[in-house]
Amino acid sequence: MSSRKRLILIITIVTLVAIAAFFWLKRAKPVAVVLTNVEIGPVERTVTNTRAGTLKACRRAKLSPSIGGQISSLPVRDGDTVKSGQILFEIWNDDLLAQMQLAKSELQAAQARAKEACVLADVAKGEAKRLTQLRKKALASDEKVEQAVGQAESKRAGCAAVTSMIKVSESRVAVAQAALDRTRLTAPFDGAIAEVNGELGEYVTPSPVGVPTQPAIDLIDNSCLYVAAPIDEVDAPEIKADMVARISLDAFGKEFFKGRVRRVAPYVLDIEKQARTVDIEVDFLSEKDNANMLPGYTADVEVIIDAHTEVLRIPSEALLEGNRVYLYDADSQVITEIEIRSGLSNWQYTEVKSGLDKGQQIVLSIDRDGLSDGALVKIDKSE
């Protein structure tokens, strides 16, 4: 071989190697992705609250006295458990106690006078009856009989008059008791003291009309709790009372509690003009679930509108716009963008009616740079 031909061959080989090296360096690098399997399972269509809901007590009373005065008795403190009817706080009322004692004494005196008058009336009645019998036998004069009958009638009227005074005295006792009750705050139900605003010896005044002030006692019934949450006005028409719901609370992490819708507000709140909402209330199905919960916890609800069991499903985060997904081929390690037909969907899962089969793998991490139809990928095992 001549030197000229040898030179041409060398140049050709170097050129081919350079071209091969160029394409080798410029080849597409595989994109690391997270895959997920198409599986069988339940899928629900749910509605969730637009803003955080709140755990509330079924009964909560913010109590204040109806009259002003100095606190003379304060037997409870924050956190105390009380029973219905128990005195929570009392304003100085020695004068009213004296009036009550006076009214009770007058009642006792009226009862004694009535007893005396009625006994005398019974005696007079018996005497009139005896003389009437004697007159039939001509053993008593008409004058004595008439006097006895008149005396009996008089005594009977006196008994009735004094008896009516008992009712007057009882009314005076009731008036005194009502005045005394206004100086006392009593628990309207069993519960726990959330807050006491006041100290022994301090003066308290009732709230002026239309001016809200701090309650003297904040009483909560922790035995019954529910969740109040705002729902977007667009979703509200689908929610009805007695629908099943799930409750979650920030304080309990990822734990869910079964609930049931008990009330949908009959009006729309327009506090925020661009996000009008309808409040709903959800009860816990089991009273044991809220045993360790406190009113005021942040809570969220998912109301189950519809549910399908044992259907083909994929994670909702794997969906692209237009109901499309990236299907992974294990042999070529290439992904293909395909369209599916979906059914029920929520933030976690989407039902697949057609386009995929059980066991196929799709890309879950659709936000990775470089992903497109026909892209070479590799499995990210760090996830």
User: Burial, 120: exposed, middle or buried (Cβ in 10 Å; 0-12, 13-18, 19+)?
Assistant: middle
Any bridge partners for residue 155, and if so which?
none
Q: Tell me: the pLDDT tens digits for 304-337?
A: 999 998 999 999 999 999 999 999 998 888 889 9
Q: What's the mean pLDDT in 290-298?
A: 84
CA angle at 267 for the pair 261 and 269, rounded to the nearest 5°: 100
- Reported confidence tier of residue 253, pLDDT bands at 50, 70, 90: confident
Collect all residues with Cβ–Cβ distance below 8 Å to 212 and sequence separation of at least 6.
Answer: none
Mean pLDDT score of the chain: 85
Per-residue pLDDT, 144: 75
Digit-coded pLDDT (tens) for 2-16:
666 666 667 777 677
pLDDT score, position 25 = 45
Percent of the chain whose predicted confidence (pLDDT) is above 90: 34
Listed in sequence order, the DSSP H helices in 26-67 are none
Q: Is the pLDDT of residue 92 over 60?
A: yes
CB of 276 closer than 8 Å to CB of 233: yes
Q: Under CATH, what is the fold of the domain 48-59+221-307?
A: Elongation Factor Tu (Ef-tu); domain 3 (2.40.30)
Report whether pLDDT(382) > 70: no
pLDDT of residue 289: 74
Among 307, 292, 299, which residue's Cα sits nearest to residue 346? 307
Which of the listed ranges 208-212, 213-217, 332-336 does the model predict with the highest average pLDDT? 332-336
pTM value > 0.85: no
pLDDT at 4: 66
Which pLDDT score is estimated for 5? Answer: 67
The strand pairing partners of 247, in sequence order, are: 257, 301
User: Judging by beta carbons within 10 Å of its beta carbon (0-12, 13-18, 19+), is residue 200 exposed, middle or buried?
Assistant: exposed
Which position has the token pair 């080798």?
A: 24
Please report which confidence band the pLDDT of residue 115 belongs to, taking 50, 70 and 90 as the band edges. Answer: confident
Among residues 333, 339, 322, the alpha carbon closest in space to that of 361 is found at 333
CB 78 within 8 A of CB 347: no
Residue 94 has pLDDT above 80, yes or no: yes
The listed CATH number (3.40.50.150, 2.40.420.20, 1.10.3720.10, 3.40.470.10) that belongs to domain 25-43+309-379: 2.40.420.20
Residues 6+ apart with CB under 8 A from 276: 232, 233, 268, 269, 270
Tens digits of residue pLDDT in 72-86: 999 999 989 999 999
Residue-level pLDDT at 7: 66
Distance of CA 197 to the CA centre of its chain: 24
| pLDDT score at 352 | 94
Report, as an integer, the average pLDDT of 166-179: 89
User: What's the burial of 30, exposed, middle or buried (CB within 10 Å: 0-12/13-18/19+)?
Assistant: middle
| 17: confidence class by pLDDT, cuts 50, 70, 90 | low
Q: How far apart are alpha carbons 300 and 283 in whole angstroms? A: 12
